[in-house]
Structure 1
Amino acid sequence: MNFLKSLFVSFLRTRHTMRHFRRLMILDSLSGPGVTRAVPDDLATELMQAATDSTPGVLARLHSHEDGLTSAEVGLIAERVGPNEVEHEKPLRWWQHLWHCYKNPFNLLLTVLAAVSFFTEDFKAAIVIGLMVVLSTLIRFVQEGRSSRAAERLKEMVSNTATVIRRGLATDVVEVAKRYFDVQLHTRPPVRMEVPIKALVPGELVVLSAGDMIPADCRVLLAKDLFVSQSAMTGESLPVEKFPEHRGSASRNPLEMNNLLFMGTNVVSGSATAVVVTTGNRTYFGVLATRVTAADRTPTSFQAGVNSVSWLLIRFALVMVPIVLLVNGFTKGNWTEAFLFALSVAVGLTPEMLPMIVTSTLAKGAVILSRKKVIVKRLDAIQNFGAMDVLCTDKTGTLTQDKIFLERHTDVFGQDSDDVLKYAYLNSYYQTGLKNLLDRAVLDHAGLQAELKLAQDYQKVDEIPFDFERRRMSVVVSEQNHHHELICKGAVEEILAACTRVQVSGGESLLFDAAMLERVRSVTSDLNEQGLRVVAVAMKEVPPNKSIYAIGDEAELTLIGYIAFLDPPKESTAPALKALAEHGVSVKVLTGDNELVTAKICREVGLPLERVILGQQLDALDEAALSTLVERYNVFAKLTPLHKERIVRALRGNGHVVGFMGDGINDAPALRAADIGISVDSAVDIAKEAADIILLEKSLMVLEEGVIEGRKTFSNMLKYIRMTASSNFGNVFSVLVASAFLPFLPMLPLQLLVQNLLYDISQIAIPFDNVDEDLVKKPLKWNPGDIGRFMVFFGPISSIFDITTFCLMWYVFKANTVQDQSLFQSGWFVVGLLTQTLIVHMIRTPRLPFIQSRAALPLTLMTLFIMALGIFLPMGPLGEYFKLVPLPLLYFPFMVAIVLGYMVLTQWMKAFYVRRFGWQ
């Protein structure tokens, strides 16, 4: 348990991020007409007041300042309003958690059976059934409780953060110090700092850029081309532009105010400064979420599969138990005894350990994955992880090293140019949006130390943020008062579309005609074929007659040249791709990068490449044509976010279980569309929110290890379900045969309950079991229909040897009268328990058990202990308590022969089953 406890710590490092993902799921259930009526009038009034106030007015009402709050002010407000958390996201109280662990169909059914046993004065049966319920509930409660406490201790380490503006020493403190103490203090300028989202308070100034989640309900103070996706809140499919002042018709609905931002939505593009209006339960989301009772997700395919098996067994019990009751009642004439026996059969048919086995197996798998640098945000995702047969991934940082170097800076003809370097540096230095790896490479370039002074010689005037439609961004700077310089950098084709002239050596500019365009494309293609990622740089001088610039100003530019980056492939990529292919996972590359660079990298890492499909080619395809195309090709370049999403949906529509790996804001739609979204801990907020799995290391090799572990976890869980289903079916069949011909019960109700309890205890170690390599070679998909076939196929095998035992006890040992029934029941008790326990080893593997495939030591020791205890009970002092009697020595050679025969026949049938149906 200490081992599990220490590993749970690493497993739950993303609990806080997981809470934010739940916000998105809850928001999905909140959007739609009539939602605003659920919000109290006082909150709507407060938000509308913030929307209609002037900037000074809203700051004054929130007791804030244009330079932000001081840390002392934040502390005082936090004491009054509490943390920025929604109440429903807090951990359950212990008694609520205990009830949650208890309330599954099996425990409820067992409780009813225990109550019936108690009121019919079968106190021993009531105790045994109650022990089953307590054991199942407490094991689940202890494991989940430990994980929850570990998460609470560690959430501060991994909580999402927001960028805030804080003041230094407050002005009033300075005045007091000067007036009363004659001490001269100086206020410090405002600073930007990262703070945990839960530490935000009303009045806080937050700085937002592309990829950020909105951390609270806010009023926009400053904005530059700010577009926010609030589809989860309002149902609007397109991002909404936000402004410092409300624009448009008057409205009384806060959601229609385009200067308000709401918790749980996210910034698509642009940048802004906003003031926090409400936090936690007082946010629009917080109030709605606390009123939505059905906040849980729709059951996943895995949950639906487990539930289907559960109800299959319950329905089976509801049919068979009355039959057992009627057969025994009519044949024995003692309806009270028949009723108690039928109740015991019902308990035996109830897989009361299923919830515990499922929970502990998933948790154990997640713990092991965390050791492999794979963090599972949602336990049920492990099943999809193991079932994944197609992995879609971006190129940068996954196939490549994620360490981009500025390799060249050239003019339009491919000659090295310091002017291009200068303009690229100014653009990256002054842009305040989402700085990507390319910007960092420019800023970190070794030859730019002297350029730092250059940046200080310029003053920033404005910027036009990046978005994924334009694929470029601009800054406007001023070196001299008589002109401004608009510097634009971005994807080559998008920059060329905005250029009318090119700059050549000596500063001369030429008209950008068709011949020049052909020459420019030849230069950029040569750079691409060298494996370099090319970004174009352009500029124009404009009069200093305005301070606000927009996308329309990115026109009639002069092309200056290119900056070319090297992003070499990782050494681990080729082996990882080979390993994934060997395990049945095909990899498809979905990138927004240039097709020539993408093709070169794919060839270097050994990814099969027939043809690179471009995003613009997808636009002309209908869904049927796209479904065919995505099956044939595996490399797609120059994609927009919607292209990636379409490809993922097309693959899912073809029946694949699709994983998508991405870390940028442009990957969020595809992450949500995939069966399993995979991101990294360094990803933007919205990508982490949409992901089910977080990698601590951005590597396909790490992912391959995670896939294998996911399959092992699913395989162990499937073992218990198969064992329980087949064993239960066989037991009922045996009981029906015995009940029809015996003048007494084949086993007393208490004996059946004890046997079932011992069997359940033997299953506790299944989550720790080994898994054959063959079983993880291919994706494992959930197939509830296979469970029923498996149950019918293997269940009757145990019944053959049960009936053999009946004949042995009846004819050989003459236990054929009511007076000798204890000997008969003791004989079947031992054989039944041994075969039930051995089924663990027989069905855990398609191979020859104990020789070709060995169970893990904990499972082996547990089953040996239960088998030994089962043999000891009739022979020991407790036998009389359970109405069991010592068995004659001659019984044991027969017992060994029966058990060996059972193993041989099961192995033979298993081989036939594998040939006919396969194992998984």
Structure 2
Amino acid sequence: MLTTLKNGFVNFLRSRHWAEHFRRIPMLDQLAKAPADLRVPAALGDRLRSAALAAEAELLQGLNSAADGLDAAQVDAARAEAGWNTIAQDKPMSAGEHLWLCFRTPFNILLTLLAVVSWVTDDFKGTVVIGSMVLLSTVLRFWQEGRANKAAASLQAMVSNTATVLRRRVLDEGEPSDLRPTGFPTVPASLELPVRELVPGDIIKLSAGDMVPADCRLLQAKDLFLAQSAMTGESMPVEKFAQLQGADQSNPVDLDNIVFMGTNVVSGAGTALVVATGNITYLGALAGRATAMDRAPTAFQTGVNKVSWVLIRFMLVMVPLVFAINGFTKGDWTEALLFALSVAVGLTPEMLPMIVTATLAKGAVFLSRKQVIVKRLDAIQNFGAMDVLCTDKTGTLTQDKIFLARHLDAWGDESHHVLDMAYLNSYYQTGLKNLLDVAVLEHAELLEVVRNYAKVDEIPFDFVRRRMSVVVSDGGGHHILITKGAVDEILQVCTSVHAAGAVMPLDDSLRSRIVAVTEELNNQGLRVVAVATRESAASQQSYGVADEAGMELCGFVAFIDPPKESTAPALQALTQHGVHIKVLTGDNAAVTAKVCKEVGITEQAMMLGGDVERMDDAELARAVETHNIFAKLSPAHKERIVRMLKANGHVVGFLGDGINDAAALRAADIGISVDTAVDVAKEAADIILLEKSLMVLEQGVQEGRRTFANMLKYIKMTASSNFGNVFSVLVASAFIPFLPMLPLQLLVQNLVYDLSQTAIPFDHVDEELIARPQRWNPADIGRFMVFFGPISSVFDILTFVLMWKVFDANTPEKQTLFQSGWFVVGLLTQSLIVHMIRTARIPFIQSRAAWPVILMTLAVMAIGIFLPMGPLASHFKLEALPGSYFVYLVLIVLGYMGLTQVMKKWYIRRFGWQ
């Protein structure tokens, strides 16, 4: 039986399944790492191919839908059949599953094995005490995580992704009947609904920045490009069409008129029919297959795991030594086995999972009060470990409110014609309306201009061209192509200039004059967008990128993008706390430099996207260390810079809110976004800010470091205390003719000590410990254990001598007195080590623990004295100690604290203090 349990435990440890995440990995991240041969059921592939091949009218009829969407009754019927649009793996775990996850840590498994051994060997008291420790650890973790998960769920509900859906609504009485066709009681309405409310048959609108909310068949598409690397592993976006381009695709992801749940729109626009939701989507099918895959641990989990294995390896060496020495010296191998098992329990930091969870949960609660949503608990520790923060400029460092400052012709003179053209472009485009479009559309007086034109077509924005176009008809037999975008990209497609009432060919001298005008605007901190037009015959009905040629430059619209008031103090505070700031933006160099100077980044080393493009990885790895501003970047440039910084050993955060930031957000150790960000950015982020103030970043960094410091306190305390106890046991076992402490007494001592540790997550942290980024360092923990553990052994041995010589507890008949004396010293010194190791300062004088820690320490000390002196002593085979013992006890405790403080000062000078 024991052999079976042992083998099962070893296999369990090897599997690494115990290294569970505190939150399941986001499904897209998991699928991105899935093996290439992961396949969905054949039935799903057949269903998607049927939807791709079916005629539009046939498909609508089959889903009981229409071109203008579903009505309320049809939605209810579809939901009754298909359910909510959620994937099972995204649903919270049941209480039973969560309880099992909380139990199956390596330490709980080990303690359970030891409890079984105790039960088999008829040590029922030991079984009860060990079982209580397992129960305490499991229940506390279950309770703490439950609270954290509920808080996170309620906060995440505030930023759920939405979709633009066409639904038919019933006309209210009194509404004009000419709003709908004769005989129809409903009219189409465009609604913004939570993704989970979608049902098969819904008609949705897609534009740049949207996450695709379900598996859909495209009905209309205009230059529609999607990123679906989570499905295929392809890094480049793929173009999708309303009509199937080839009917012989065997792989469902190759169907170019089908878009899949979880992918995102990079550019373009489209209208799509939802054909599958929830678990029956392609993503849902992959999720079911992917749950069996091993999950790669995060950097945080890797650190916890390494520390855990340091302690486990130490235990696997020391426990057999204790068993062998006691067996040979005492001759009672059964008693030696029980004692060795008790030592193993004492060496097991069974509260580690609970302490880690409690400290992270406390951090999440703290940040939630600051209006910060923590999507992944271990992101809090990454927040504290971050030493480089890369940030986008627009909407993050600057306000999310951009103002249209000027509208000028090519010479820099005010021009209402330029504003009219810019307004028509922003009004009629259906893609991603950014803050610049919003600023233009605030000129509501220009609605009169719109009435003179009708939309014909549009060419959506993408991050390669960096421009977008609409085509309008003026009613006089002419079409006008209106293009706006980045100055350089607009000038590339212009051959003439309209200024001062005349049209002139665009030659080099005019180009230089125009560039000088835009540079002057940029130097004033204005963001400049160029506007160009071209007339064409009304016979042309469809337009594409190739039509953006031979255009006439009208002029510019210039925007002011003022920095947030909190940006400068937030960046200064982060810098003071050891976080280096790097700005990564797609904007031009002049505007970027002006804004960076306004927010306090005065020492500027700038690099442009073109330079990044030309560098190989080795050159870029050096450049990212010496430059702090990167301008005119593409999304791929941002991601590459983040990856280079990580490869250089940095813990990298990325703050962004746009579709062009999504790749960098995923690549960073900690992705940070805001609630006004596009869907794909919020999905990629680990932390979402609900407040506009950036000071919460500095608060989050400090809380992350407090969280880490408190976790490290427990590990250092436990490791050093355990090492000292085992060293003392080895000495006592070699020279004392009886056990220095009974197994039951060791277990009770450990249980009481564990209870005291539950207050650690609520402890204060010294300012110097949160002044710089902190990371896991298992080697340092091992060294700390070796240096500080033997200090307690010195005073344990003094206690042995005291009990042996002064109180004559030197025979098996007086072993109870000996064991009682060491029991009290051991429990008091273990409790006080908390205060000695929790700070690099002088405890109680320069740094005082939080009240919960102080109260727990006093409670443990009181219990330690009460157990041998009170009525329960006989139950634990203890006995009352003479009054003179407590005089020596005070001296031993004071000596222990003094020597620990001396060692601490020496250790800090030699190795520092993490």
Task: Choose which of 602, 607, 618 in structure 1 pairs with 2:601.
Answer: 607
After TM superposition, list the pairs within 5 Å mapping 1:486-505 onto structure 2.
486-505=481-500
Q: CA deviation at 1:321?
A: 1.2
How many angstroms apart in 2 are the aligned matches of 1:519 and 1:497? 15
How many angstroms apart in 2 are the aligned matches of 1:431 and 1:719? 57
Deviates more, 1:698-707 or 1:326-335: 698-707
- Corresponding residue number in structure 1 for 2:460: 465
Q: CA deviation at 1:249?
A: 5.6
After TM superposition, list the pairs within 5 Å mapping 1:590-739 onto structure 2.
590-739=584-733
Q: Is the 8 A contact 2:410 2:555 kept in 1?
A: yes
How many angstroms apart in 1 are the aligned matches of 2:631 and 2:541? 37
- Corresponding residue number in structure 2 for 1:887: 881
2:67 maps to a residue whose letter is E
1:562 equivalent to 2:560? Answer: no
With structure 1 as the length reference, what TM-score do the two structures score? 0.94
- Corresponding residue number in structure 1 for 2:19: none
Q: CA deviation at 1:151?
A: 5.0
- 1:494-553 Cα offsets, whole Å, 9 max, x none, are 0011100110122x2110011100110111111111111100011111111122111111
1:478 equivalent to 2:480? Answer: no
Look up the SS of the partner of 1:218 in the other structure.
strand
2:908 maps to a residue whose letter is V
After TM superposition, list the pairs within 5 Å mapping 1:747-758 onto structure 2.
747-758=741-752
1:75 equivalent to 2:80? Answer: no
After TM superposition, list the pairs within 5 Å mapping 1:861-876 onto structure 2.
861-876=855-870
- Corresponding residue number in structure 2 for 1:187: 185
How many angstroms apart in 2 are the aligned matches of 1:83 and 1:442? 38
Deviates more, 1:608-617 or 1:484-493: 608-617
1:824 maps to a residue whose letter is F
Q: Is the 8 A contact 1:609 1:635 kept in 2?
A: no
Q: CA deviation at 1:406?
A: 0.5
Q: Is the 8 A contact 1:20 1:264 kept in 2?
A: no
Q: Which runs of 5+ in 2 are unaligned?
A: 1-21
How many angstroms apart in 1 are the aligned matches of 2:780 and 2:155? 41
- Corresponding residue number in structure 1 for 2:824: 830
Q: Is the 8 A contact 1:50 1:219 kept in 2?
A: yes
Q: CA deviation at 1:694?
A: 1.2
Task: Choose which of 335, 348, 373 in structure 2 pairs with 1:350.
Answer: 348
Q: Is the 8 A contact 1:21 1:690 kept in 2?
A: no
- Corresponding residue number in structure 1 for 2:6: none
Task: Choose which of 430, 435, 438 in structure 2 pairs with 1:437.
Answer: 435
- 1:687-726 Cα offsets, whole Å, 9 max, x none, are 1111111111244322111111111111111111111111
Q: Is the 8 A contact 2:151 2:365 kept in 1?
A: no
Deviates more, 1:289-298 or 1:863-872: 289-298
- Corresponding residue number in structure 1 for 2:38: 35
1:85 equivalent to 2:86? Answer: yes
What percentage of residue pairs aligned between the two structures are identical? 65
How many angstroms apart in 1 are the aligned matches of 2:670 and 2:198? 31
- Corresponding residue number in structure 2 for 1:778: 772
- 1:283-319 Cα offsets, whole Å, 9 max, x none, are 1111121122335641112211211221222222222
1:44 equivalent to 2:45? Answer: yes
Q: CA deviation at 1:154?
A: 6.1
CA 1:377–1:640: 2 relative to 1, 3 Å: same
Q: Is the 8 A contact 1:30 1:233 kept in 2?
A: no
Look up the SS of the partner of 1:213 in the other structure.
coil
How many angstroms apart in 2 are the aligned matches of 1:342 and 1:125? 12
After TM superposition, list the pairs within 5 Å mapping 1:800-815 onto structure 2.
800-815=794-809
Look up the SS of the partner of 1:251 in the other structure.
coil
Q: CA deviation at 1:401?
A: 2.2
- Corresponding residue number in structure 2 for 1:94: 95
- Corresponding residue number in structure 2 for 1:144: 145
- Corresponding residue number in structure 2 for 1:204: 202
Look up the SS of the partner of 1:627 in the other structure.
helix
- Corresponding residue number in structure 2 for 1:11: none
After TM superposition, list the pairs within 5 Å mapping 1:100-499 onto structure 2.
100-150=101-151, 156-169=157-170, 187-248=185-246, 250-295=248-293, 297-444=295-442, 448-499=443-494
How many angstroms apart in 1 are the aligned matches of 2:306 and 2:270? 49
How many angstroms apart in 1 are the aligned matches of 2:24 and 2:677? 15
- Corresponding residue number in structure 2 for 1:7: none
2:410 maps to a residue whose letter is V
Look up the SS of the partner of 2:65 in the other structure.
coil
Q: CA deviation at 1:481?
A: 4.2
Q: CA deviation at 1:605?
A: 2.1
With structure 2 as the length reference, what TM-score do the two structures score? 0.95
- 1:362-398 Cα offsets, whole Å, 9 max, x none, are 1111111222232221111222211111111111233
How many angstroms apart in 2 are the aligned matches of 1:387 and 1:449? 48
1:528 equivalent to 2:522? Answer: yes
Deviates more, 1:113-122 or 1:789-798: 113-122
2:740 maps to a residue whose letter is P
CA RMSD of aligned residues (A): 1.9
CA 1:219–1:303: 2 relative to 1, 3 Å: same
Q: Is the 8 A contact 1:169 1:186 kept in 2?
A: no
How many angstroms apart in 1 are the aligned matches of 2:152 and 2:731? 52
Look up the SS of the partner of 2:401 in the other structure.
coil
How many angstroms apart in 1 are the aligned matches of 2:150 and 2:582? 39
Look up the SS of the partner of 2:530 in the other structure.
strand
- 1:753-782 Cα offsets, whole Å, 9 max, x none, are 000001000000111110000101011011
Look up the SS of the partner of 2:552 in the other structure.
strand
- Corresponding residue number in structure 1 for 2:583: 589
Look up the SS of the partner of 1:890 in the other structure.
helix
- Corresponding residue number in structure 1 for 2:893: 899
Look up the SS of the partner of 1:135 in the other structure.
helix
- Corresponding residue number in structure 1 for 2:18: none
Q: Is the 8 A contact 2:456 2:472 kept in 1?
A: yes
1:26 equivalent to 2:30? Answer: yes
- 1:309-341 Cα offsets, whole Å, 9 max, x none, are 212222222221111111111111112111111
CA 1:156–1:575: 2 relative to 1, 3 Å: closer
2:738 maps to a residue whose letter is F
Q: CA deviation at 1:155?
A: 5.4
Q: Is the 8 A contact 1:21 1:689 kept in 2?
A: no
Task: Choose which of 873, 894, 908 in structure 2 pairs with 1:914.
Answer: 908
Q: CA deviation at 1:156?
A: 4.5
Look up the SS of the partner of 2:344 in the other structure.
helix
How many angstroms apart in 2 are the aligned matches of 1:149 and 1:569? 35
CA 1:88–1:650: 2 relative to 1, 3 Å: closer
Q: CA deviation at 1:170?
A: 9.7
How many angstroms apart in 1 are the aligned matches of 2:710 and 2:157? 33
Q: CA deviation at 1:582?
A: 0.9
CA 1:432–1:20: 2 relative to 1, 3 Å: farther
Look up the SS of the partner of 1:450 in the other structure.
helix
Look up the SS of the partner of 1:167 in the other structure.
strand
CA 1:712–1:151: 2 relative to 1, 3 Å: closer
How many angstroms apart in 1 are the aligned matches of 2:226 and 2:281? 17
- 1:715-758 Cα offsets, whole Å, 9 max, x none, are 11111111111111111000000000001000000000000001
Q: Which runs of 5+ in 1 are unaligned?
A: 1-17, 178-183
2:747 maps to a residue whose letter is L
How many angstroms apart in 1 are the aligned matches of 2:771 and 2:508? 55
2:832 maps to a residue whose letter is L
Q: Is the 8 A contact 2:148 2:365 kept in 1?
A: no
How many angstroms apart in 2 are the aligned matches of 1:154 and 1:477? 44
Q: Is the 8 A contact 2:219 2:273 kept in 1?
A: yes
How many angstroms apart in 2 are the aligned matches of 1:502 and 1:334? 101
- 1:80-131 Cα offsets, whole Å, 9 max, x none, are 1111111222222222211111111111111111122122221111111111
1:138 maps to a residue whose letter is V
